[in-house]
Structure 1
């Protein structure tokens, strides 16, 4: 019989295990990546069955845009009187455009609304239109009076006596 020295174990020795090779790690994710969208089917209320001879669509088209959450930012408001001033000035109601343009500028200064350019355009076009109307009426009324006065003086100076 063979005797086993006391400092050695009685079980057979296993050969030393080689170190495990390093496991492949996931490649680092880019800092900015394309968003991942999950296609979801819209939830509709129960639909009535299709009439005989008609069928439901075969496939649903994917959504063109991902669903949007929340509310869009509100656009700054445009002063309504500024719009009215411009419209009135453009349709030849010049005095109305001038009056509403001045009121709109005052409101815009107080409230900070948009539309200052519209109010100024309404004012400028309104003043030009008002000047045009004044010239029109002056020409329509004063020119015939001047013409009549000129004709009267010219006709009065003519001598029809024949001598």
Structure 2
């Protein structure tokens, strides 16, 4: 009969290896395909770190982030472009932003803030266009009023 080593009697088993039925040899982790860790360039299964082991205690496994709605991003970009080039393009941004918010409510994607910012900046651009048009109209109206009033006195 084989005598056991006196130093190993009081040691707890390793938490990373499970003894197999063949006499204390660690078995391969069944959670990893084929019993081997993933090869370089491959990803481990979801919820596990490389090597196939569960995350250590105290560490949370976070779900993958939801994608950002592309129409919301387009609305935000168009609204910024409208402020610096042609403020009437802000109407396109308002349209895209409203459609994006409806789609976000339906699908649960991220980007509601971008869509809302696109709508607000789009309306600001349209408002600036209206204000600019009123200022120009008032300027030329005042100019023509002054020209007509000075020409009728002579």
| Both proteins in one fold, TM over 0.5 | yes
Alignment match, 1:95 = 91
Q: Which has the higher helix share?
A: 2
User: What aligned pairs does 1:17-36 form with structure 2 within 5 A after superposition?
Assistant: 23-24=6-7, 25-28=9-12
Alignment match, 1:70 = 45
- Structure number with greater Rg is 1
**TM-score normalised to the size of structure 2?**
0.57
Alignment match, 1:80 = 70
Tell me, in whole angstroms, the C-alpha distance in 2 between the residues paired with 1:142 and 1:120: 33
Deviations 1:72-127 (A, max 9, x none): 85431211110110011011121110111111111111221110000011011111
Task: Please list every run of 5 or more consecutive structure 2 residues that lacks an aligned counterpart in the other structure.
Answer: 17-36, 48-62, 83-88
Alignment match, 1:123 = 119
Tell me, in whole angstroms, the C-alpha distance in 1 between the residues paired with 2:137 and 2:112: 37
Please, which of 124, 133, 149 is the counterpart of residue 145 of structure 2?
149
**TM-score normalised to the size of structure 1?**
0.54
Q: Please report the RMSD computed on the Cα atoms of aligned residues, expressed in angstroms.
A: 3.3
SS at match of 1:114: coil
- CA deviation after TM superposition for structure 1 residue 134, in Å: 1.2
- CA deviation after TM superposition for structure 1 residue 26, in Å: 4.5
